[in-house]
Amino acid sequence: MRLSGRIGSVLPGPRSTPFSFWYLVLLVATSITRHLLDPATAQQLLTMASSNTQNLADRPLLSLLTSALVLKGDDDWGLLVPLFLLAAAPLERRVGARWTLAVFAFGHVFATLATELPAGWAQSTGRLPAETAQWVDVGASYGLFATAGALMPILATRTRWWILPLVELAIVGLIFVEDPTAPLTIMTFAGHLIAFHSAILVWWRLLRRRGLVATLRIPDLSVAQRDDAPPMKAST
């Protein structure tokens, strides 16, 4: 296969990986929109879209949805692009778009609630400043780390046991990108760990049932699926 063909097979596509492709397009669109707005308006919209404790109390479902549709800044792309290419798209090629969406939604919602609810308690008891109830907690990283977690059982056993600690080291390293003592940085770090590890635990049994555990080697990340392991389908 030519180099261009190999690159094309790894990139998300509208037919091969519709969830990863169209979600990536949506994030690009909202990022462009953010750049077209004046800084004050853009910041206001980010605050409105955030899944912070105030928004979760006022409009929980809407804030959980909108927080996954926008990025806080352009620096987020340095993390999200590798996660799309190496986690979400390979997972989708193995289990299909609907199951990948389910994995993403699970990780985003569970990690958000698992971090924001304790933050709300800390705010109500004075352990966190009251203004942190309106911090900007947006982005796709919780859901994408969940896709990385769900991909772990599918990896061949030897491959899994050296990739898993690499992902964990990457999550630890992310805390030093911003102020490691800031409450939001610590909360985001906890959210990444929760999303990644909970996805491993939650989806492992279902993947085993479907015959997908330990079936994927690194060179096969762009392969749609094994011939003897059809894509996972929702039960009817």
Q: How far apart are CA 76 and CA 26, in angstroms?
A: 15
Alpha helix stretches (DSSP H) within the chain: 3-10, 18-36, 39-49, 53-58, 60-66, 77-83, 89-95, 97-124, 141-151, 157-174, 183-209
- pLDDT of 5 reads 45
- pLDDT of 53 reads 96
Angle at 82 between CA 34 and CA 209, to 5 degrees: 115
Q: Which residue has the tokens 């909108």?
A: 66
- pLDDT of 11 reads 80
- Residue pair 113/55 in contact (Cβ under 8 Å)? The answer is no
Q: Give me the average pLDDT of each 10-residue run along the chain (236 residues).
A: 51 92 97 95 96 97 97 93 95 96 98 97 94 95 98 94 95 92 94 98 94 83 49 46
- pLDDT of 12 reads 86
Q: What does pTM read for this prediction?
A: 0.90
